[in-house]
Amino acid sequence: MASPSTLSLTSAFPSPSSSRRLAPSRRATSLVIVAQGKVKKYRQVILTDDIEEVGRKGDTLKVRAGFYRNFLLPKGKATLLTPEVLKEMQLEQERIEAEKKRDVVDIIKSQLNRDVDKRLVTVPEIREVGEYVAEIKLHPDVTARVRLNVYAK
């Protein structure tokens, strides 16, 4: 004869086919908990914009995951540091440096009326308005210093 719990389940939940009756323990849904790995608290990011009190465009920073997820990512001010992104940023910086050197060499050529090889010119990193000093290697023993004044348009 059937147990009282089986009778109550079968009467409460009649199944369409009488041959496919399940035991009461199988009818209950189970809760599966999947353990996650350790959550990273910090993220390596590259800034895509200047952010006051955080850093400048192109800087690589280690920021808290929540700051990246809630502020930097939605506003598009940073991207995660991956090898592909790092390589792309380095190529961009090299292109900018080459352009700066070419511009400085062109200015020096026009003002001095002399040919200057761009490989011999060392230009400091120019990020803002101000005065900078570029060095031109004229000879292995002789280095000329040229003062550059950068103005805003």
Global pTM value:
0.45
CATH number for position 59: 3.40.5.10
Band the pLDDT of 64: cuts 50, 70, 90: very high
Residue 125 within any structural domain of the chain: yes
Domain that holds residue 69: 42-81
Q: Give domain status of residue 24, yes or no.
A: no
Q: How many domains does the chain have?
A: 2
Do 89 and 146 reside in the same domain of the chain?
yes
Q: Is residue 19 part of a domain?
A: no
Same domain as 100, residue 76: no
Residues 76 and 106 in one domain: no
On whether residue 61 sits in a domain, the answer given is yes
Q: Judge contact between 54 and 87, C-beta under 8 A.
A: no
Q: Does residue 145 sit in the same domain as residue 89?
A: yes
Instruction: Summarize pLDDT for 81-97 with one digit per residue, the tens.
Output: 888 988 887 888 888 77
Pair 64, 94 in one domain: no
pLDDT at 149: 83
Q: What is the pLDDT of residue 26?
A: 58
Tell me, what's the pLDDT at 23? Answer: 56
Would 75 be classed as within a structural domain? yes
**Residue 115: is its pLDDT beyond 60?**
yes
pLDDT digits (tens, 9 = 90+) for 21-55: 555 555 667 777 776 777 778 989 989 889 998 89
Domain contains 32: no
Examine the domain organization and report whether 130 and 92 are in the same domain: yes
44, β-bridge pairs:
62
Residue 36 within a domain:
no
Report residue 144's pLDDT band, with 50, 70 and 90 as the boundaries.
Answer: confident
Residue pLDDT, tens place only, 12-21: 555 555 555 5
User: Is 101 within the bounds of a domain?
Assistant: yes
Residues 93 and 53 both lie in one domain: no
> DSSP readout, the chain?
---HHHHHHHHHS--SSGGGPPPHHHHS---------PPPSEEEEEESS-BTTTB-TT-EEEEEHHHIIIIIHHHT-EEE--HHHHHHHHHHHHHHHHHHHHHHHHHHHHHHTS---GGGEE-----SSEEEEEEEEEETTEEEEEEEEE---
Query: Residue 28 has what pLDDT?
Result: 63
Q: Are residues 99 and 68 in the same domain?
A: no
